[in-house]
Structure 1
Amino acid sequence: MVEIADYERRGDLDAPFELTKKAEKAQRQSEEIRAAVRCEIPSLTWEQFAAGEPCPGCGRSYRDEERWESKGTMHFTDEERARYEAEGELFKERHGDCHAMRHKVSGSLTTHCGRCCPPPPMSPEQRELILRLFSCPTPPQQLMRWRLRLYCGHVVEKTAHYTHKTLHAAFSGATSCPECGLDPATIVDGAAVGLKAEPPGAPRTGAPRAARRSRKPTKAELQAKVSELEAEVERLQRK
């Protein structure tokens, strides 16, 4: 049984809106993080990536000809250490002023910049798996509704899985505002208000409601979900 008292409650949503220095600092940090991972250059297609085409941002390869085994620096041989340090110097020379995250392909040492270099594409198998996962949307009785006051001042309602009981776990401390479009918008105040739907077998109050049959998502909706998840996977990898 879900207890609202177990969920984080921050601030007073009914109080007059007033930005604090803490909220302003959090917003700056969110914007800096977003800028550090935002790349305007389109990614390669899977076919281009599989054919070995270089990164469209920096022109360097995603996959090294000589495989790189990831291990702690204390286990490097002299040759591996020299190769590792040379790659670090090259990245610093090319992207030292970007202040962005780094990413690389498993098995390769060549390092790419989150601001200058788009991430490699997902494989067809990964996309198919994601499509299958999103063909079964989260049941509404597993979604917790939250009221959120954002940095822009708007109070909006959003949902997250009921197992996320803090604002950071549910929304990573920021989200996008559907009212004004601010993205990222730091969450200033927030409170859980109840599940999106009653769990099966839960006692009902008031007049009974007709059960609604879940609508099967369209292909366009699934593709949109895939794009959202790709962005989320990229964000988590960069963390």
Structure 2
Amino acid sequence: MANALKEEARAHRDEVRRREWREKSMYLTREEAAAGQPCRGCGLPVIDNLGDWPGTMSPEERDEYAAVKTRYEETHPDCGSYSWTMAGSRSRHCGFCCPPIPFSDSQLADVARIFMSSKPRDEDLDIWERTLTCGHRMRRPVHHTNSGPDFSTERCEECETTRGVVSSEKVVEAAARKSEAQRKRDEQLDRAELELAKAEQAAKEAHRKLDELRAGSTDE
């Protein structure tokens, strides 16, 4: 519970900060960042055009990298967040202090394509029941190849707020879902085969009656 409450407090803190960014219009567009406008959180360039840090650095580059790291740690000692940089830049920014830059159209298209191509089938999903700090429970589907849900917080629909997760329990195995899905497919196949057999029998009977009618017409 203590850890869940800690994660919940962190999530609430981040939500307040993101709301502040929106209300104060602190997000830069990609065009503004490319034009050289500084980050509205820390004041450093977002795109400095200095290039990525090389894999093998010279002594001067190592000193510069260490200085950037030290400056970041001194500026954000208690943020407890991740850091981020833009491709082709060396400025380091704080996930709590610095509003991120939105994805480009091509990046959004790539993400959408990945999600569309990797949409899992229901029978490949385990179902986990998660108990939240408020006492409410919610269920989340997770692909069977994962050991469990990744997130330490969830949006409680009853409280309408983010809550920490106290415990998670797998309540439906993907194997059971697969077995149930296969059983339903087998039932559908059996019904289809029965309907086909009835249709074939009806067709034979119709042909027989037609042949009788034709034979009677010939006799006359």
- Same-fold status (TM-score > 0.5): yes
Q: Distance in 1 between matches of 2:136 and 2:163?
A: 13
Question: Residue type matched to 2:46 in 1?
Answer: Y
Cα separation, partners in 2 of 1:38 and 1:145, compared to 1, 3 Å: same
Task: Give the corresponding residue for 1:171.
Answer: 150
Equivalent residue for 1:234?
none
CA displacement at 1:194 relative to structure 2: 4.3
Deviations 1:186-224 (A, max 9, x none): 14242232459657971139x86xxxxxxxxxxxxxxxx
CA RMSD, aligned part only?
3.5
**Relative to 1, partners in 2 of residues 1:89 and 1:132: Cα closer, same or farther, differing over 3 Å?**
closer
SS of residue in 1 equivalent to 2:63: helix
User: Does residue 69 of the first structure (1) align with residue 47 of the second (2)?
Assistant: no
The answer as to 2:5 corresponding to 1:27 is yes
1:186 aligned onto 2:157 = no
Deviates more, 1:82-91 or 1:133-142: 133-142
Distance (Å, rounded) in 1 between the aligned partners of 2:103 and 2:140:
28
Aligned to 1:78: 59
Q: 1:161 is aligned with what amino acid?
A: H
**How much identity, in percent, do the aligned residues show?**
27
Please give the alpha-carbon distance, in whole angstroms, between the structure 2 residues aligned to 1:66 and 1:191.
48
Report the TM-score when normalising by structure 1. 0.60
Match of 1:160 among 135, 142, 156: 142
Matches within 5 A, 1:220-231: none
Consecutive unaligned residues of structure 1, counting only runs of 5 or more, are: 1-22, 209-239
Matches within 5 A, 1:101-112: 101-112=82-93
The 1-side partners of 2:150 and 2:72 are apart by 32
Alignment of 1:136-155 (within 5 A): 137-155=119-137
Structure 2: give runs of 5+ residues left out of the alignment. 189-220
Structure whose alpha-carbon radius of gyration is higher: 2
Deviation at 1:103, TM superposition (A): 1.4
Once the 2 structures are TM-superposed, how far is the Cα of residue 156 of structure 1 from its aligned partner?
1.7
Task: Tell me the distance in 2 between the aligned counterparts of 1:79 and 1:37.
Answer: 40
Question: What residue in structure 2 maps to residue 131 of structure 1?
Answer: 112
Higher helix share: 2
Letter in 2 for 1:94: T
Partner amino acid for 1:64?
A: D
1 CA distance for matches of 2:36 and 2:16? 23
Aligned 8 A contact 2:130 2:168 in 1: yes
**Deviation of residue 126 (structure 1)?**
1.0
Task: Specify whether residues 143 and 77 from structure 1 end up closer, same or farther in structure 2 by C-alpha distance, changes over 3 A only.
Answer: same
The change in CA–CA distance for 1:89 and 1:33 in structure 2 (over 3 A counts) is: farther
* In 2: Cα distance, 1:200 partner to 1:186 partner: 29
Paired residue for 1:51? 35
How far did residue 58 of structure 1 move? 1.8
Per-residue CA shift, 1:110-133, capped at 9, x if unaligned? 111111101222121110122334
Relative CO higher for 1 or 2, CA cutoff 8 Å, sep ≥ 6?
Answer: 1
Tell me, in whole angstroms, the C-alpha distance in 1 between the residues paired with 2:31 and 2:101.
Answer: 11
Q: Secondary structure, in 3 states, of the residue corresponding to 2:183?
A: coil
